[in-house]
Amino acid sequence: MKSKKQKFCLSFYVTEDYRNLYPIMLEKTDIYLAYRLAHLVPLYQEEVNNDFFYQKNKRLETLIPNHPQKYSINI
């Protein structure tokens, strides 16, 4: 069996200038974006505030209220 390397999916690339992903919604009831955001695990450098992504995407709390927040990986 060949060993598999761990890979990252860069389906969303977020920077400090472009943190709010709701402008790319297909329509106002686009539940797919909410689920993509809910399963997103941001990667951060240590000096970056880990809350910046969730602060700009607060609508996720109303669409998926039981979503456990603040998953992140510091690199």
Alpha-carbon span 44 to 51, nearest angstrom: 10
Answer yes or no: are the C-beta atoms of 9 and 39 closer than 8 Å: no
Q: With bands split at pLDDT 50, 70 and 90, how would you rate the model's confidence at 15?
A: confident
Alpha-carbon span 31 to 46, nearest angstrom: 31
Alpha-carbon span 37 to 40, nearest angstrom: 5
Q: Return the domain boundaries, the chain.
A: 23-74
Q: What is the pLDDT of residues 21-66, one digit of tens each?
A: 778 888 877 778 888 777 777 676 666 565 666 777 777 777 787 8
